[in-house]
Amino acid sequence: AGCGNGTKAPAEESGGEESGNAPAQVKNVKVMLDWTANTNHTGLYAARDLGYYKEEGLNVEIVQPGAGGTDAMVASGQADFGISYQEGVTLARTQGVPLVSIAAVIQHNTSGFAAPVDRNIKKASDFEGKSYGGWGSPVEEAVMKSIMDIDGADVSKVKMINMGDADYFTAVKRDIDFAWIYYAWTGVEAELRGEPLDMIYVKDYSEALDYYTPVLVTNEDKIANDPELVKAFMSATAKGYEYAINQPEEAAALLSKAVPELDEELVLASQKWLSPKYQDDAARWGEQKAEVWNNYAEWMFERKLLDKPLESEQAFTNDFLPNTP
């Protein structure tokens, strides 16, 4: 990882190595991803490798997640920031986990149900009689029910199969007809492979399902005790994402360089697809709307996916985004 070793600090953050001679205080910051590195994270790598963080006096380390441990890590303060998603933050908060979303990485939900074209699934009502490969969460079924209800179809006619660790491409080779994917990664990979798929975005069916995924999170403590740090981090991160928005090809190259194990072709194609989607119709990158949080939380609560309603004003904040309009 890019060790911005330059500056002196009384190392109040964890394990700070001090050297160099620059005047400002350097703070060590850990950001934990939600999954292996991908184009959702380009802005973070750009901000790190273009020196935006250093300009803010931050020494940022980007950490791969443990087996689904990012939220716990951030909530407990082991990592300062992390990547999560709205569903997670919502569930976590109602369980008393002190996570706060501080930016929407992508403005609209790019996920949806995908199927190879030969399965002939063009709309939600086509799900009937088909096999769905998921991870067995009640949320999946609720979402599916919602959109099928709209098309006047019966969700109980969908065969639900838990496919665990298997990925879309493997799953549709056998038994499974459609699965839930993020287009920016899996869909683009399908294009590259020449395996065309039909995509049914969930956001197209219901306002409530146009939730933020992924989001940047931190914990309540950090916000209360070190708002300056959060501010600095967010301003550099926003610059990183703006770079990714404006220069997709360079940004893709940056990511490929930072994580050379990734497939360059996929990174580039995915980046090109995703770059315009980061900010999309919002006034600035990262903006989150209360109604999005409320809508989705209510949707979940109605379907008994939440134990209690979400106090959404505490679940997210736009306060740390730069250049408030």
Partner 1 sequence: MRMWWKDVWPPVVAVLLFLGAWQAAVYMFHIEDWILPSPAGIAREAASGAQGLPGHTLATLRLTLTGFVIGTAVGFIIALILHMLPGLKTALYPLLVVSQNVPTIALAPLLMIWFGFGMLPKIIVITLVCFFPVAVAAMDGLARTDRTMMNYMQMAGAGRWQTFSKLELPHALPSLFSGLRIAATYSVMGAVIGEWIGSDRGIGYYMMLQKSAYRTDRVFVAIVIVVLLSLLMVGLITLLEKRLIRWNAKSREVSR
Q: Which residues bind partner 1 (CB under 8 A)?
A: 1, 14-15, 30, 35-38, 63-69, 71-73, 75-76, 78, 88, 91-92, 95-97, 135-138, 160-167, 169-171, 173-175, 185, 189, 259-263, 266
Nearest distance from residue 93's CB to partner 1, in Å? Answer: 9
Hunting for tokens 């360059």 — which residue is that?
264
Neighbour-count burial of 248, counting CB atoms closer than 10 A to its CB (0-12 exposed, 13-18 middle, 19+ buried): buried
Nearest distance from residue 79's CB to partner 1, in Å? Answer: 8
Nearest distance from residue 281's CB to partner 1, in Å? Answer: 29
Closest CB to partner 1 among residues 30, 54: 30
Tally helices (H) and strands (E) across the chain. Answer: 13, 10
* C-alpha closest to that of 212 among 306, 145, 296: 296
CA–CA dist 31, 63 (Å, integer):
6
CA–CA dist 96, 112 (Å, integer):
29
Closest CB to partner 1 among residues 223, 259: 259
Closest CB to partner 1 among residues 14, 120: 14
Hunting for tokens 């919002």 — which residue is that?
282
| Residues paired with residue 316 on neighbouring β-strands, in sequence order | 101
* C-alpha closest to that of 85 among 319, 315, 303: 315
Nearest distance from residue 76's CB to partner 1, in Å? Answer: 5
Closest CB to partner 1 among residues 104, 190: 190
Nearest distance from residue 208's CB to partner 1, in Å? Answer: 19
Closest CB to partner 1 among residues 123, 145: 145
Sign of CA dihedral 63, 44, 257, 197: positive
